[in-house]
Structure 1
Amino acid sequence: MAQNNVIIGIHAVHEALKDSLTLDQILIKKNANNEIIREIIYLARKQTVTVKTVPVEKINRITRKNHQGVIAFSSPVDFHNITNLVPSIFEKGAIPLFVILDQITDVRNFGAIVRSCECFGVNGIIIPQKGAAQIGEDAVKTSAGALYKVPISKVHSLPSCIDFLQQSGISVLSITEKSSTSLYTIDCSVPLALVFGAEDVGISSAILQKSDACVNIPMQGEISSLNVSVAAGIGLYEVLKQRPQIL
């Protein structure tokens, strides 16, 4: 693993948080507990930085330096506050288009989705604080640099974020093979957020219940599901196709 985005040691990570450096995630060895550790966790939660407790062996595989049981990964991009991002898009006179990623942790899938989002003019990608792909050099590479162009919002709770989007006039559309309604029957010309879930577990029931509609991508083959990055590309193209003012 590349080391240039790794912050090593309890005091270095603590100072990075106090200076509001943009971090993607923090790893803390299991059973570590002191005043500075507790403050690191507090500041991380306040700044929507993912914190994971892991066996010390995992940290040792990342660095052999004196890490004191704590390391952090800096993010190559700044995260956007969704409550500021949404009104800024409306103020520009644009029709908002967001993508919500539920428990998509594979970096290659994440990067490919970000690349498609940039190509199709997505205004922002929303990911959860816990259960998201690590945003580092590999994600930037697989996105072909699109991570530098598409705003990323990291939120504490996807269901709460969906409430905010709906209150702002944005319809939430979950794309899932569990639905019997075709994507192609839905009006995608309105302010919209598309939800995609992990390939193994799909979209969580809490998000499906909050969605304005659940739809599938019609298929004719025997395999009943698509790779999530492929599904995202198809879904985004359908939105673009229905927005003639963009074409």
Structure 2
Amino acid sequence: MQDTSNIFGIRAIIEAINAGQSLEKIYIQKGLSGPLFSELNTLIKKNNISTSHVPIEKLNHLSKHQNHQGVVAKISPIDFYNLETIFTTINKETPLFLLLDQITDVRNFGAILRTAECTGVDAIIIPNQGSAPLNADAIKTSAGAAFKIPICKVNHLLDAIYFLQAEGIQIVAITEKTDATIYTVDLNKPTALIMGSEHKGITSSILKIADAKAKLPLLGDIASLNVSVACGVALYEAVRQKFS
């Protein structure tokens, strides 16, 4: 386990990337340019590292006003996995994956990690951009699950879905935009569940290519569940079907 900390300075970050350091995000000063930054930017794209363009005040705060040269990188407390690589290590007849479509609340993210580990999820897949950071709050909420379950970062969830479908994994979107409930979908086969963001749900382009859609029945007046609770219900239905 690594301590969560920052690296600042273009050359230092280039060296960290080349050394294989896992970076959660790189903060870049708006309008930054130059040959050394171009070298860094090439490495960022090659290694699919999440970035955010911010004003200089943000970088001054992150670096505690040391010479950051317009760039600060946040070290990830865990190493992220390559989806295709982790897929080859899974030796189960009915693997279970979880795709998170831009879950942005860190505590929801941590709670989902905890439930996923408890329900035997083989890997969690998140997009490189637009997801909650795996920071101290997320790790604390996960109760250590963040260190026990493989988390894969991908450039685009659509590409991950196409890969899983090609490998015989059914894609099930948990969404209210269907008449079918979670209890009518066969989850006792190789499956990947998709959970959508707290505010927008699952992206329409992802919904279109899902093999099945399933909703959780709501019997009260409130229109939706918290995403981490909904994820827990869906995952435990998959567990229930395995033991039926």
TM-score computed with the length of structure 1 as normaliser: 0.93
Per the alignment, residue 56 of structure 1 pairs with 56
Q: How does 1:1-247 map to 2 (within 5 A)?
A: 4-64=4-64, 65-89=66-90, 92-244=91-243
How many angstroms does 1:45 deviate by? 2.0
How many angstroms does 1:76 deviate by? 1.3
Q: Structure 1 stretches (4+) deviating beyond 4 angstroms?
A: none
* In structure 1, distance between residues paired with 2:106 and 2:15: 28
The code of the aligned residue for 2:116 comes to: C
Structure 1 residues 240 and 4, CA gap change in structure 2 (3 angstroms): closer
Residues 106 and 138, structure 2, Cα contact 8 Å, conserved in 1: yes
How many angstroms does 1:4 deviate by? 4.6
How many angstroms does 1:139 deviate by? 1.9
How many angstroms does 1:94 deviate by? 4.0
Judge which range, 30-39 or 183-192, deviates more.
30-39
Residues 14 and 36, structure 1, Cα contact 8 Å, conserved in 2: no
* In structure 1, distance between residues paired with 2:4 and 2:214: 42
Q: Deviations over 1:35-78 (max 9, x none)?
A: 22222222122222101111122222323222121111111111
The code of the aligned residue for 2:88 comes to: P
Q: Deviations over 1:66-115 (max 9, x none)?
A: 212111111111111111212321xx234110100011121111111001
How many angstroms does 1:32 deviate by? 0.4
* In structure 2, distance between residues paired with 1:136 and 1:11: 24
TM-score computed with the length of structure 2 as normaliser: 0.95
The code of the aligned residue for 1:82 comes to: L
The code of the aligned residue for 2:191 comes to: L
Q: What is the SS of the residue equivalent to 1:226?
A: coil
Q: What is the SS of the residue equivalent to 1:134?
A: coil
How many angstroms does 1:159 deviate by? 0.4
Residues 4 and 74, structure 2, Cα contact 8 Å, conserved in 1: no
Q: What is the SS of the residue equivalent to 1:243?
A: helix
* In structure 1, distance between residues paired with 2:4 and 2:224: 38
Q: Deviations over 1:199-219 (max 9, x none)?
A: 111110111011001111011
The code of the aligned residue for 2:89 comes to: S
Query: Structure 2: any 5+ residue segments left out of the alignment?
Result: none
